[in-house]
């Protein structure tokens, strides 16, 4: 395993969340969504682990709507935008509060719900919640990134796709097989950790 030092938690979580929201992540987030759409069919249920202010879920909903408007049903591999449901998960309550504001402003309260959960804890979410699991630039913030990846595999339904990108030059795209959440080898710049899973959930931010 590669040696690592977890980033220290912010002294003021609210100020940190607001500072993060003020940064310009639009191009990076759009690129992540395009990577996801190129990885295979998306949805109809999506879980974003470490959603932050929910900008990626919002962009995903908007992008799938635009694709659906430009294509016929026959050549649309992704979920119908009207059926798309996204769960944004984060361990920071202050970040989820900002996410709720962003979701409301984008008019996506019916599509995106928020969940407060510890991504280091395998028992924090239920099994097989979604066909698509995503996580962008989150792992380096966690005490146990291995557990977060195991949690992603637990949340993923058989046959689904998980896409995780980090700031340590690791991009992991995995697809589960039809019988279990054991994974095919990902395309990554560093060896992946073994992935397993097991869990229950409590919603913190009701719609």
- Tell me the DSSP string of 75-134: G--SPPGGG-EEEEEES-HHHHHHHHHHHHHHT-TTTEEEEE--TT-TTSS-SS-EEEEE
Pair type for strands 156-165 and 85-90: unpaired
Distance between start and end Cα atoms, the chain: 40
Closest CA to 9 of 118, 150, 100, 155: 118
Q: Is the N-terminal amide bond of 44 cis, ω within 30° of 0?
A: yes
What is the predicted pLDDT for the residue at 137?
83
Residue 142: burial class (beta carbons within 10 Å; 0-12, 13-18, 19+): buried
Predicted local confidence at residue 61, as pLDDT: 97
In terms of pTM, does the model score above 0.75?
no
pLDDT of residue 146: 87
Instruction: Name which of 55, 63, 57 is nearest 38 in CA terms.
Output: 63
Contact 95, 57 (CB under 8 A): no
Amino acid 183: pLDDT? 36
For residue 36, the model assigns a pLDDT of: 95
Question: Can you list the residues of the chain whose pLDDT is less than 70?
Answer: 1-24, 72-74, 167-207
Secondary structure of residue 50 in the 3-state scheme: coil
Please give the helix or strand (H or E) that residue 65 lies within, else none: helix 55-70
pLDDT at position 102 is 95
Q: In this predicted model, what pLDDT tens digit does every residue of 2-45 receive, in sequence order?
A: 455 555 565 665 665 566 556 657 899 999 999 999 988 999 99
Give, in words, the CATH class of 33-175.
alpha beta
């Amino acid at each position: 395993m590669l040696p690592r030092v977890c980033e220290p938690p912010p002294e003021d979580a609210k100020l940190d969340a607001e500072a993060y929201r003020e940064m310009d992540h639009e191009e990076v987030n759009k690129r992540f969504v395009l990577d996801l759409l190129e990885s295979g069919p998306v949805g109809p249920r999506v879980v974003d682990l470490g959603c932050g202010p929910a900008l990626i879920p919002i962009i995903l909903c908007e992008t799938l709507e635009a694709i659906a408007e430009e294509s016929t049903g026959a050549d649309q591999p992704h979920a119908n935008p009207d059926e798309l449901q996204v769960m944004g998960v984060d361990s920071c309550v202050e970040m989820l509060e900002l996410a709720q504001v962003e979701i409301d402003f984008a008019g996506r309260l019916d599509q995106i719900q928020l969940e407060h959960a510890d991504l280091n804890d395998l028992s924090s979410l239920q099994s097989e919640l979604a066909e698509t699991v995503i996580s962008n630039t989150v792992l380096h913030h966690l005490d146990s990134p291995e557990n977060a990846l195991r949690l992603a595999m637990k949340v993923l339904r058989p046959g689904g796709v998980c896409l995780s990108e980090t700031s340590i030059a690791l991009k992991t795209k995995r697809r589960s097989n039809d019988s279990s959440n054991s994974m095919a080898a990902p395309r990554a710049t560093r060896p992946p950790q073994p992935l397993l899973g097991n869990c229950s959930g409590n919603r913190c931010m009701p719609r």
